[in-house]
Chain A
Amino acid sequence: MVDVFFTSTGNNQVVYMAIVGSFPFNSFLSGVLSCIGTAVLAVCLRIQVNKENKEFKDLPPERAFADFVLCNLVLHLVIMNFLG
């Protein structure tokens, strides 16, 4: 669900760029990459918390969530820096 939301937002931005041109190119890039990055991180989180995945059996979901939050914060710091 979350993945769908982020990827569709990213898609919309790509379409917008395709229509109006790539003038604030860094803004476009950061917008799209933040969507994709968050989506990827969300997928990772879901993989880790899914009980059917045996490889992450020893990893508590709370630890996975902490990783998710940290990675998101780092990602968005970079995104904000790049946004201009």
Chain B
Amino acid sequence: MTPKFLHMIHTPSFGLPVAQTRKFLPLTPPSLPGMAKVIGFLVLALSALICEAAIFKPISDSHRSAALELFTPAHGSFSSLEETYEALRTIEVLGIKKQPDQKDATCVLVMETLSSPSSALKDLFQALRINGLLDCELNKKAIAGIAPRLQDAVRSASSLLDYYYSVGSLVLIKGLTSDVDVHLESADSVVRGIKALSQSDGRWRYSSNDRESSTYAAGIALESLAGVISLASSEIDQSLIGMVKNDISKLLDGLEKYDDGAYYFDEKLVDAHGHQGPLSASSAVVRGITAFAAVSAENLNLPGDKILGLARFLLGVGVPGNAKDLYYQIEALASLENNRVSIPLILSLPTSVLSLTRKDQLKVNVNTVFGAAAPSLTVKLKQIFSSGSKDASVIDQDLKFDHKNAVHYLDALPKDIDVGSYIFTFEIVLHDSEHTMIYATGGRTKVPIYVTGVIKVDNAEISVLDSDLGNVETRKKLDLAGENSISLSANHLQKLRLSFELTSPLGHALKPHQAFLKLTHESKVEHIFVVGNSGKQFKTILDFLGLVEKFFYLSGRYDIQLTVGDAVMENSFLQPLGSVELDLPEPPEKAARPPPQAVDTSSRFGPKEEIVHIFRAPEKRPPTNLSYAFLALVLLPFFGFLFGLLRLRANLKNFPTASAPATSAILFHLAIAAVLSLYLLFWLKLNLFTTLKALGFFGIFLLFVGHRTLSYLASTSAKLKSA
């Protein structure tokens, strides 16, 4: 095992915000078949443990810095009024100081939008919302001119968004000034109009033409309904309110649940209004429900655990990566924080890793979602589940409250808590019974706790044994806390034994995630062995006789390295112990070769080795002069031949003189010369086939003229004889 892998196993326990580790992926262990299974299982078990219980932290400074980063306009201004509103609203909720230079420019834009008679409903709504945040000095006349237009729009509205924008704008104008009359005369019919778009499962359609219903639309509808109720000039029909209440409870029945107690609305609808994910849908519903609860006189009987679950979902998202999601998260959390029926209280732990050795106290914070102080309450530790076993120990112990730091703490962990991972179950008990109506505590909260400690390692020794009798040949004591550099020697008839004991702070046995012995040969071939245990005693015996084949018959020095590591072991180590000189027999012919070592990645793309090609050495040639001399010698007989011809007085008297035979005789000689030249060409460059084709032609011609010439000569000689 490499140190890196050891570290990865440690990671979940050391101060990671556990809400983020929900998406903890099982590690892909390196290629060690047996061990990989064990480790993979451990990791899976660990992640399953995290899924069951998780810590949700209230909104923190990381959200603020993310908001500043995400909501900084790229070119000095935002691209739309909607974006501007979302940025300003998020920044306001998070309590970040606004940049004053943006205000003037934005207010000018708002004024323009409000005074233009052609502005769309949506832009009017966004402009009024921005004005609500920035407090621009508006022209009263312009606003008074908008109000009748909006009231008309409410009356003639056919789609949900028309209702939402017009009603929302009227509500904003109502908040702005009391001079303008924004009351709706026929509020009942408007409520019916909105209600007509609702579906039997509590969700809404955007318009009567839409077939699909959406959760996001339900949130918008609830918000619009809340607006209509606040604008109504007379009391709304109670039966209508009752129907909406019914819709809300049906909507909440459709909540999906995570294992860790987080609830969310799943939104699968993709339509012209864009894709709305679980975050935007949950956010819209939370805003709708809280807005409706704020204006409704009746008690909505919202289930506390679901409201808390929604808060957990919104917090569990962590810090979203884009501006829209951050706005949805913060806006929904703000409406949860400020609602008057069900304020979720979030239980969080500063750290979920407690060290037994340092005697860490168990500390618990209880806050609202934005980290504000909770009312007076007591946190009770009810149960502790151990990760290994299913049964829980029932504790029922009250945590003390530290007023100065506003933290609940437990003086000392229960006596029987040893190192390991646990799930603690807490319960929040509010002191004031009236508070139980306002705050949602959500029953019991499960929190994963890792208890770590220094593990005592002792009686460590390494020895070489004789194979047959088990006599100890050499025995060396090891100090696993410090440095070791032993040197042993053994042959294939002997065994190597390594043993040590691990004791947890409470004196129990501990089986760490990793206990490996690694032998590395000089040629970098590695062999890893799992050190098994029985109780506290860890022991491994390497019988070299059975291992020679696995060791590829490689004699020589092997470095010994011992790895003992666990997430809860504070003194996990990976240290070299020394070396053993192995004397193994010679490999038989069919022995397996050691595998090639992993190539260094940096050299993989480097220049390749040069390929050297050896050409055949040329044959030895004779000296040039000698060759020329023999050329002359070879030609010499030819001159001798010519000389001989002269001496013999050879002549051409027999050559035909008549024109026709002379022509054929000349052609005959020319043809012979041509064939011989063809042979020369064949030697120099032509191949056999072209040569044979040409030769066939010349041959026939030669045969013809040859026959003519020779038959003429024959006839002349016959005439001479007869004459």
A residues whose Cβ falls under 8 Å from a Cβ of B: 1-2, 4-6, 8-9, 12-13, 15-16, 19-21, 23, 60-63, 65-66, 69, 73, 76-77, 80-81, 83
Is chain A's binding surface mostly helix, strand, loop or mixed? helix
B679 contacts A1, C-beta separation under 8 Å: no
Q: Which residues of B, 607-631, contact A by the 8 Å Cβ criterion?
A: 619-622, 626-627, 630
CB of B187 closer than 8 Å to a CB of A: no
B637 contacts A5, C-beta separation under 8 Å: yes
With known contacts A12-B633, A69-B672, A80–B620 Cβ distance under 8 A: no
Q: Which residues of B, 409-447, contact A by the 8 Å Cβ criterion?
A: none
B626 contacts A1, C-beta separation under 8 Å: no
Note all chain B residues with C-beta closer than 8 A to A6: 637
What separation, in Å, do the CA atoms of A6 and B638 have in the docked complex? 8
What separation, in Å, do the CA atoms of A62 and B688 have in the docked complex? 31
1/0 contact string of B630-650 vs chain A (CB within 8 Å): 100110111011001100100
Specify the chain A residue showing the minimal Cβ separation from B641: A5
Note all chain A residues with C-beta closer than 8 A to B619: 23
From A4, A23, A66, A76, give the contact of B640 (CB < 8 A). A4
How many contacting A-B pairs (Cβ < 8 A)?
Answer: 76
B622 contacts A21, C-beta separation under 8 Å: yes
Nearest first, the 5 A-B pairs at minimum CB distance are A20-B622, A5-B641, A62-B710, A16-B630, A8-B637
With known contacts A4-B640, A76-B679, A66–B648 Cβ distance under 8 A: no
A76 contacts B622, C-beta separation under 8 Å: no
Note all chain B residues with C-beta closer than 8 A to A62: 710-711, 713-714, 717
Instruction: Give min CB distance, A75 to chain B, whole Å.
Output: 10
A8 contacts B640, C-beta separation under 8 Å: yes
A5 contacts B644, C-beta separation under 8 Å: yes
- Between A and B, 10 residue pairs with Cβ closer than 8 Å are A1-B641, A1-B644, A15-B630, A20-B622, A21-B622, A61-B717, A63-B714, A76-B679, A77-B682, A80-B679
Specify the chain B residue showing the minimal Cβ separation from A77: B679
Note all chain A residues with C-beta closer than 8 A to B714: 60, 62-63
What separation, in Å, do the CA atoms of A21 and B679 have in the docked complex? 27
Note all chain A residues with C-beta closer than 8 A to B706: 66, 69
CB of B127 closer than 8 Å to a CB of A: no
Note all chain B residues with C-beta closer than 8 A to A21: 620, 622
Instruction: Give min CB distance, B694 to chain A, whole Å.
Output: 11
Specify the chain A residue showing the minimal Cβ separation from B682: A80
From A13, A20, A73, A76, give the contact of B634 (CB < 8 A). A13
Is chain B's binding surface mostly helix, strand, loop or mixed? helix
Specify the chain A residue showing the minimal Cβ separation from B647: A1
Note all chain B residues with C-beta closer than 8 A to A83: 683
From A2, A66, A73, A80, give the contact of B710 (CB < 8 A). A66
Instruction: Give min CB distance, B532 to chain A, whole Å.
Output: 75
What separation, in Å, do the CA atoms of A9 and B645 have in the docked complex? 17
Note all chain B residues with C-beta closer than 8 A to A66: 706-707, 710
1/0 contact string of B684-723 vs chain A (CB within 8 Å): 0000100000010001001000110011011001000000
B679 contacts A12, C-beta separation under 8 Å: no
What separation, in Å, do the CA atoms of A1 and B676 have in the docked complex? 23
Known: A12-B636, A15-B633. 4 other contacts (CB 8 A): A8-B636, A13-B630, A19-B630, A80-B683
Specify the chain B residue showing the minimal Cβ separation from A17: B630
Note all chain A residues with C-beta closer than 8 A to B710: 62-63, 65-66
What separation, in Å, do the CA atoms of A2 and B630 have in the docked complex? 20
Instruction: Give min CB distance, B170 to chain A, whole Å.
Output: 109
Instruction: Give min CB distance, B49 to chain A, whole Å.
Output: 86
What separation, in Å, do the CA atoms of A15 and B679 have in the docked complex? 26
Note all chain B residues with C-beta closer than 8 A to A4: 637, 640-641, 644
CB of B675 closer than 8 Å to a CB of A: yes
Specify the chain B residue showing the minimal Cβ separation from A1: B644
Note all chain A residues with C-beta closer than 8 A to B622: 19-21
Note all chain A residues with C-beta closer than 8 A to B675: 73
What separation, in Å, do the CA atoms of A19 and B637 have in the docked complex? 19
Instruction: Give min CB distance, B167 to chain A, whole Å.
Output: 105
B637 contacts A20, C-beta separation under 8 Å: no
Instruction: Give min CB distance, A28 to chain B, whole Å.
Output: 11
Note all chain B residues with C-beta closer than 8 A to A5: 637-638, 640-641, 644
From A1, A8, A15, A60, give the contact of B645 (CB < 8 A). A1
A23 contacts B621, C-beta separation under 8 Å: yes
Note all chain A residues with C-beta closer than 8 A to B620: 21, 23
Specify the chain A residue showing the minimal Cβ separation from B711: A62
What separation, in Å, do the CA atoms of A13 and B702 have in the docked complex? 32
From B630, B644, B648, B717, give the contact of A12 (CB < 8 A). B630
What separation, in Å, do the CA atoms of A21 and B637 have in the docked complex? 23
Chain A CB count within 10 A is highest, among B633, B634, B645, B676, for: B634
B679 contacts A9, C-beta separation under 8 Å: no
